Structure 1
Amino acid sequence: MKISLRAGERVYINGAVLRVDRKVSLELVNDVMFLLEGQVMQAADATTAMRQLYFIVQLMLMNPTDVGAAASLYGQHHAALLAVCENREMLDGLAAIDEMVGGTRYFEALKRIRALFPLEEAILAGTTTKSPFKAA
């Protein structure tokens, strides 16, 4: 896989943070877990349940040698989401995400979580046709 970076841009590869000082192209010749700087969510931006799930999975991807604490947190957060959600699209997405995380396919899981952000926003705004959360 070949990626191009602009001067000053960062890439996170297998737990290491690399910053380039000039425009560069990198060819990754083996399997690595990486995130481009634009895909990294800051803790302050994890303001909703799905964004928090994204942040947790991101931690798992960025530090693959020590996923224990993040995996435990992921399990708790994912279970809490399943307990309150009844929107079928969201439930299907959470099931797919759990399968990806279980298979250490963290980058794919992050993409799937990002795809659910608009649905979560609609749910929080109350613009869905049916309540997405179970009655308390």
Structure 2
Amino acid sequence: MKVSLRAGERIYVNGAVLRVDRKVSVELVNDVMFLLEGQVMQASDATTAMRQLYFIVQLMLMNPTDVRDATALYGQHHAALCAVCESKEMLEGLAAIDELVGATRYFEALKRIRGLFPVEQAILAGTTTEFPFQAA
């Protein structure tokens, strides 16, 4: 896989942070876990349940040698989301995400989570016809 980076941009590869000083293309010739700087969510941006799930899975991808704590946190957060969610689309998405995380396919899981951000936003804005979360 070939990745193009701009000057000053960072890429996170198997837990290492690399910053380039000029425009460069990098070819990743073996199977690695990586995130581009634009895909990295800051803790302060994890303001909704799905964004928090994204942040947790991101931690698993960025530090693959020590995922024990993040895996435990993921399990708790995922279970809590499944327990309160009634939206079929969200539940199917959460099931797919769990399969991807279980197979250590973190990048694909992050992509699937990002795909559910608009669904979550519609739920939170009350613009969906479903009642996706149970009343507390």
CA drift of 1:135 comes to 3.2
- Which residue of 2 is the match for residue 106 of structure 1? 106
* TM-score between both structures, scaled by the size of structure 2: 0.99
- Which residue of 2 is the match for residue 122 of structure 1? 122
1-structure distance, mates of 2:114, 2:124: 16
Question: Is 1:25 aligned to 2:21, yes or no?
Answer: no
2-structure distance, mates of 1:131, 1:92: 15
2-structure distance, mates of 1:36, 1:128: 32
- Which residue of 2 is the match for residue 133 of structure 1? 133
C-alpha offsets along residues 34-72 of structure 1, whole Å, 9 cap, x if unaligned?
A: 000000000000000000000000000000000000000
C-alpha offsets along residues 75-128 of structure 1, whole Å, 9 cap, x if unaligned?
A: 000000000000000000000000000000000000000000000000000001
2-structure distance, mates of 1:19, 1:97: 29
CA drift of 1:26 comes to 0.3
CA drift of 1:11 comes to 0.1
- Which residue of 2 is the match for residue 36 of structure 1? 36
1-structure distance, mates of 2:102, 2:130: 30
1-structure distance, mates of 2:59, 2:130: 33
- Which residue of 2 is the match for residue 91 of structure 1? 91
CA drift of 1:130 comes to 1.7
Aligned-residue identity in percent: 85
- Which residue of 2 is the match for residue 48 of structure 1? 48
Structure 2, unaligned stretches of length 5 or more? none
- Which residue of 2 is the match for residue 75 of structure 1? 75
1-structure distance, mates of 2:117, 2:82: 16
Runs of 4+ in 1 over 6 A off after TM superposition: none
Structure 1, unaligned stretches of length 5 or more? none
2-structure distance, mates of 1:52, 1:61: 14
Matched to 1:60, the amino acid is M
1-structure distance, mates of 2:119, 2:60: 24
SS of the equivalent of 2:135 reads coil
